[in-house]
């Protein structure tokens, strides 16, 4: 067993929120950690600088096949840099690209997977990429979808939303903890407390509550407004845009809602997104 704990999610599903909570929980600082400090305890397997260094080529020259071939080496670097548990953010589906697994399970200790209502994901992802909702719905329904490399992140195999969710969660595993974004919002003490428990941590209730406060949307958005955030897309005014559940009801047409429900019915039903709770 390895030492990497993956913080996994489809894009715009709450991964950065999870990272902020964990960093605040582990440091137990009196003040909220800054956005720039998230890298102290968490890394990312799509950080371009590692791939550029290994390939000896600029990011513009790294196609998806080259990135896929380099990914195991990058993940091995991440594991080797610490003898202790290391949290690593990924948006990759638990699949394979160009014959190479997206996640090296030999150096993996476990994973926390955040799932979010795909209708809200579509709204948030659209704002992030600066693309129309119909384009995003098509992307989220496209099997084996691969993102392009950018200065912010190398190419990732994300698959369709349903592929992504199923790839990580279809098989029960004691080394996997799954949490809904909506429960992180509605029942934060239980949701985040469950994450701490999965990691074998037993912090006092007050410490968890402080980490939740320090990682709140209000705090994160305030930090971005003041100092910016390097993960913000050039197509978006802000990375932390709304931080709510159910925003899709106000912006989606009945046809768009129908398309998402039809494309992702099985996984939406699994996570109770079709019974009116979210």
**pLDDT bucket at 234, cuts 50 / 70 / 90:** very low
Average pLDDT, the chain: 88
The burial of 227, by beta-carbon neighbours within 10 Å (0-12 exposed, 13-18 middle, 19 or more buried), is given as: exposed
Domain-located, residue 105 = yes
Residue 210: CATH number of its domain: 3.40.50.300
Nearest Cα neighbor of 218 from 240, 186, 233, 199 is 240
Domain-located, residue 60 = yes
pLDDT exceeds cutoff 70 at 232: no
Work out the average pLDDT over 101-118: 96
pLDDT exceeds cutoff 50 at 236: no
- In the numeric block, the tokens 């845009």 are attached to 241
pLDDT exceeds cutoff 50 at 137: yes
- Which residues form the domain of 183? 4-116+143-236
pLDDT exceeds cutoff 60 at 228: no
Which SS3 state, helix, strand or coil, does residue 8 take? strand
Domain-located, residue 137 = no
pLDDT exceeds cutoff 90 at 244: no
Please give the pLDDT value at position 70.
96
Please give the pLDDT value at position 195.
97
Domain-located, residue 18 = yes
Phi and psi angles of residue 40, each rounded to the nearest 5 degrees, phi first: -65, -40
Domain-located, residue 12 = yes
Please give the pLDDT value at position 54.
96
pLDDT exceeds cutoff 60 at 50: yes
**pLDDT bucket at 129, cuts 50 / 70 / 90:** confident
**Total structural domains within the chain:** 1
- Residue 207 makes CB contacts below 8 A (sequence gap 6+) with 25, 28
């Amino acid at each position: 067993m390895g030492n990497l704990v993956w913080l996994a999610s489809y894009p715009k599903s709450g991964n950065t929120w999870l990272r902020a909570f964990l960093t605040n929980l582990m440091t137990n600082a009196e003040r909220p950690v800054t956005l720039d400090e998230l890298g102290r305890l968490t890394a990312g397997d799509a950080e371009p600088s590692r791939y550029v260094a290994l390939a000896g080529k600029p990011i513009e020259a790294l196609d998806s096949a080259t990135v896929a071939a380099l990914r195991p080496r990058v993940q091995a670097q991440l594991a080797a840099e610490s003898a202790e548990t290391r949290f690593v953010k990924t948006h990759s589906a638990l699949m394979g690209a160009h014959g190479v697994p997206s996640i090296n399970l030999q150096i993996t200790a476990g994973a926390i997977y955040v799932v979010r209502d795909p209708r809200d994901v579509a709204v948030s992802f659209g704002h992030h990429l600066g693309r129309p909702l119909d384009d995003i719905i098509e992307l989220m329904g496209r099997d084996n979808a691969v993102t392009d490399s950018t200065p912010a992140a190398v190419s990732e195999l994300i698959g369709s939303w349903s592929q992504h969710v199923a790839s990580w969660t279809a098989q029960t595993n004691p080394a996997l903890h799954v949490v809904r974004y909506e429960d992180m919002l509605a029942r934060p003490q239980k949701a985040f407390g469950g994450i701490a428990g999965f990691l074998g941590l037993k912090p006092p209730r007050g410490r968890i509550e402080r980490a939740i406060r320090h990682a709140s949307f209000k705090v994160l958005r305030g930090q971005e407004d003041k100092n910016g955030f390097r993960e913000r897309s050039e197509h978006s005014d802000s990375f932390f845009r709304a931080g709510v559940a159910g925003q899709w009801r106000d912006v989606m047409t009945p046809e768009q809602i129908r398309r998402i429900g039809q494309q992702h019915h099985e996984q939406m039903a699994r996570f109770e997104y079709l019974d009116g709770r979210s």
